[in-house]
Chain A
Amino acid sequence: MSSHYEAPIRRPLIVGDKSYHDITVEVAAPVEGKANKLWWTAFIIALVAFLWGVGSIIYTIGTGIGVWGLNKTVGWAWDITNFVWWVGIGHAGTLISAVLLLFRQKWRMGINRSAEAMTIFSVVQAGLFPVIHMGRVWNAHFVLPLPNQFGTLWTNFNSPLLWDVFAISTYLSVSLVFWWTGLLPDFAMLRDRAVRPFQKKIYSLLSFGWSGRAKDWQRFEEVSLVLAGLATPLVLSVHTIVSFDFATSVIPGWHTTIFPPYFVAGAVFSGFAMVNTLLIIMRKVSNLEAYITVQHIELMNIVIMITGSIVGCAYITELFIAWYSGVEYEQYAFLNRATGPYWWAYLLMMSCNVFSPQFMWSKRLRTSIMFSFFISIVVNIGMWFERFVIIVTSLHRDYLPSSWTMFSPTFVDIGIYVGTIGFFFVLFLLYARTFPVIAQAEVKSILKSSGEQFKKLRDGNHE
């Protein structure tokens, strides 16, 4: 037992009297069991929203971008807001799976699988927006430097929008292989338990013939570590590059050097909120409370509190620098943001993102499941408004007062946004029923050090 020592002061990450076999059974249960009414209800609602989104996308592509609420002054609004929002949400997954792996945080093991799934599904949603906004989606491959009939017609590598194409596609594809590599042993577990031949076939296919040899595990761990090392700077680069879309422009309110760290902190902030939203429901519905404990939720709330405060500092720094710069345009951009016609959006952003996470200083509130769920929703709303404020309020009063205007979304804007939320939940609900939602192999490897009954046994013995 001494090789599994962990300080007694650390609270157990796996609650209850579990054996290796119990973990297998409990992780496989949602996959092997039948869906209940609640799942079907949620799935049908998500599917309807998704189909509404598909309809809105088809209408947009068939008719043109004119069906959106964009105008001559505000040429970027909900599409890019939703894009940045979804990409930001994705960041928590990589943070949990990569950064926490490098820091050897064992609590990541209960939540990393679902957080990574969330990353992949939300980056898929994000990717839809720039593609649809192209208008002629059938020319989407023009963003890649592909040889073509024009010979010398390449993409412009000076453009931050092209950097974004490379960043997002690298991020999506690397996250996907990271996720899948981790899934192999767990798919193998489902394969070896499957009773029905069809299920067995599917999971053998998905598990790539994983057998669990000692050499495979050795490579598996090394690959995970190196992927984590690569994904850590990658995730920071992705939102940095997303912020370059704005920061390298000359629009007052966008052209600021604080954007990269501020965007990354905001992304982690909103992502952790979304992980909390999803996992608080999933742990209940799938009976995984022993693996996704209140301690996990508490730790995520602390991350939300810290990143929320960083974002708050960034908002105030922006205001200060605008004033201190002495540049009239810059000053007006921020004055207009806070007190102009979109003051309500600014207020919503400030209260949801800076004020509401401060409740998490209280131990009682951050260990309350209902309250954590509530705050996670508030933060997601706040972070959507942050992007809306940055984008729309910086554009709607441009250089010529004669072209000052307001932006209002059409039903198509709303339809596509709601559609992506539906699509996201369709994917996540299907995932929750067919994938091992907890990295059970990794959880088994910490059972003896962080499992409740083993900790009790050890502390009782005074080793």
Chain B
Amino acid sequence: MSNKVIQAMYNDDDILMDAVKEVRAANHHIQEVYTPFPVHGLDKAMGLKGTRIAITAFIYGCIGFVFSIWMMNYMMIEQWPQDIGGKPSFSFIQNMPAFVPIMFEMTVFFAAHLMVITFYMRSKLWPFKEAENPDPRTTDDMFVMEVSVEGNEAELVSFLEKTGTVEIKVTEK
């Protein structure tokens, strides 16, 4: 099987949504949809699974929280306990209230940065990465649906033309 795809272009998000539903109902495989802005409900219409990135943020936050406790316990209590302002640092639990602000900040720091890094890695976003949108207009006002060609190509093209597309292109991937 060739890696042929049909790129159907739409100029409206509502037409695109209807088209996505029709194409899925007709059992064609949508490889990808490129849109200039987040179209709400598109991921569900395409049958994409929900993202688990919020769960990773929670885990990263927990790591940051535990790390901050370990760090402050090691630096303030274990390695070199001092008597600062008549408040000796011999017990973590007794000194803990003073550590709360930094526990909080480290939790947020880890959760936010590691989640964003995870997002960039998973979505392949980094400096010097080449953009992969098939047409420059997809960041302006055009919506592109890529449907893989399986079986009769001409039939698929005429089917897609009926979904309200404004431009259609067959390319090798």
Contact = CB atoms under 8 A, between A and B. Distances in A.
B53 interface: yes
Interface string A138-172: 00000001000000111111101011001100100
B99 interface: yes
Given A158-B95, A189-B36, A219 B123 contact: yes
B147 interface: no
B63 interface: no
Given A185-B139, A209-B124, A441-B36, A163 B53 contact: no
B127 interface: yes
A163 B79 CA distance: 20
Interface stretch (A18-26, A70-78, A362-370, A416-424): A18-26
Given A156-B84, A170-B109, A214-B48, A226 B101 contact: no
Contacts of A237: 101, 104-105, 108
A312 to B, nearest CB: 28
A231 to B, nearest CB: 8
Interface residues of B, number: 67
A191 B13 CA distance: 22
Given A177-B116, A208-B120, A214-B32, A192 B38 contact: no
A317 interface: no
Contacts of A177: 112-113, 116
Interface in A14-58: 19-21, 24
B76 to A, nearest CB: 5
B169 interface: no
B77 to A, nearest CB: 10
B163 interface: no
A134 interface: no
A210 interface: yes
A418 B127 CA distance: 35
A219 B104 contact: no
Contacts of A226: 53-54, 57, 111, 115
A368 B119 CA distance: 43
A170 to B, nearest CB: 5
Residue among B50, B108, B130, B138 having the largest count of chain A Cβ atoms under 10 Å? B108
A403 interface: no
Nearest to B74: A154
Contacts of A293: none
Given A1-B14, A20-B141, A226-B115, A215 B43 contact: yes
A163 B35 CA distance: 43
Contact of A219 (B13, B41, B53, B108): B53
B51 A218 contact: yes
Nearest to B71: A145
B141 A24 contact: yes
A3 interface: yes
Nearest to B145: A214
Contact of B108 (A1, A210, A230, A241): A230
A452 interface: no
Interface in B86-140: 87, 89, 95, 98-99, 101-102, 104-106, 108-109, 111-113, 115-116, 119-120, 122-133, 136-140
Contacts of A350: none
A217 B138 CA distance: 13
A442 interface: yes
A191 B14 CA distance: 26
A191 B131 contact: yes
Nearest to B82: A156
A204 B139 CA distance: 13
B131 A207 contact: yes
B75 A185 contact: no
B47 to A, nearest CB: 10
B75 A157 contact: yes
A210 B41 CA distance: 20
Contacts of B157: none
A235 B103 CA distance: 15
Contact of A222 (B53, B108, B112, B141): B53
B137 A192 contact: yes
Contacts of B173: none
A108 to B, nearest CB: 15
B108 A233 contact: yes
Given A158-B98, A167-B105, A211 B132 contact: yes
A192 B136 contact: yes
Interface in A203-241: 204-205, 207-223, 225-227, 230-231, 233-234, 237, 241
A217 B32 CA distance: 12
B159 to A, nearest CB: 21
Nearest to A440: B37
A170 B38 contact: no
B46 interface: yes
A160 B85 CA distance: 14
Contacts of B43: 214-215, 217-218
Contact of A441 (B34, B38, B57): B38
B70 interface: no
Interface of A: 1, 3, 19-21, 24, 145, 152-158, 160, 162-163, 166-167, 170, 173-174, 177-178, 181, 184-185, 188-189, 191-193, 204-205, 207-223, 225-227, 230-231, 233-234, 237, 241, 244, 440-442, 444-445, 448
Return the 8 tightest CB-CB contacts between A and B, nearest first.
A209-B129, A20-B141, A192-B136, A152-B80, A154-B75, A208-B125, A444-B37, A163-B101
Given A205-B127, A216-B125, 8 more contacts: A162-B102, A170-B109, A185-B139, A211-B133, A215-B48, A217-B38, A227-B115, A441-B36
10 contacts: A155-B75, A166-B102, A166-B106, A184-B125, A185-B139, A217-B37, A219-B122, A225-B54, A237-B104, A442-B37
